[in-house]
Structure 1
Amino acid sequence: MIVVAMIFIGLPWVILHYVTKWKTAATITTDDESLLEELYQLAKRLDERMDTVERLVASDNPDFEPARIRHDKAIDNVPLRELEELLAEKKGDHA
């Protein structure tokens, strides 16, 4: 009797419990989305500041060559454009 109860009650309960845990852990929450948006905006501001610093250094030293990703190079802007498109789609879904 105990074995039958374990098979028909206990086993499905364990399986459903872990399926539910798996589904809730795989989603991103609205708090996570807002944090990502804040981090993205912060990264954009920091990038603008770096551009300003690099322009100032380049004006003082004509031999200066920045070694980081540049906003005016098409190859460096591909991931940024993809991210901005995803953000625009996400905002369009919520509007």
Structure 2
Amino acid sequence: MGEEAIIIPMIVIGLPWLILHYITRWKTAATITTDDEVLLEELYSLAKRLDERMDTVERLVASDNPDFQPKRLIADQDRDNQQLRELENLLAEKKGSAR
């Protein structure tokens, strides 16, 4: 009878508590932290600067060598910068909703 007095409360109280505990941890881990947002904005800025630098390098090489055919872009097409524009829109929406 002594073991049953310990096992039954463990099943009735302990098991639901354990399940709810890990559900709560899972939900909180799925959110992005403020530090993560700052890091993403820094990475976005870096990506944008690198994109602009690549455009400049390709233009310089193309001006020095008429046979050069840029693989990354041809006359700075819209599709080349589409992902950066999407990120810009997301950042603008985020800053707009934060105000």
TM over 0.5: yes
TM normalised by structure 2 equals 0.85
Q: Which runs of 4+ in 1 moved over 4 A?
A: none
Coordinate RMSD, CA, aligned: 1.7
Number of corresponding residues: 95
- Aligned counterpart in structure 1 of residue 17 of structure 2, from 13, 18, 27: 13
Aligned partners of 1:69 and 1:18: how far apart in 2? 48
| Cα separation, partners in 2 of 1:85 and 1:5, compared to 1, 3 Å | same
| Cα separation, partners in 2 of 1:61 and 1:69, compared to 1, 3 Å | closer
Aligned partners of 2:12 and 2:80: how far apart in 1? 57
Q: Mind listing any 5+ residue stretches in structure 1 that lack a counterpart?
A: none
**Structure-2 residue corresponding to 1:41:** 45
| Cα separation, partners in 2 of 1:76 and 1:62, compared to 1, 3 Å | same
Q: Does the 8 Å CA contact 1:71/1:77 hold for their aligned counterparts?
A: no
The higher-RCO structure (CA 8 Å, 6+ apart) is 2
Q: Mind listing any 5+ residue stretches in structure 2 that lack a counterpart?
A: none
The SS at the match of 1:27 is coil
Aligned partners of 1:51 and 1:72: how far apart in 2? 7
TM normalised by structure 1 equals 0.88
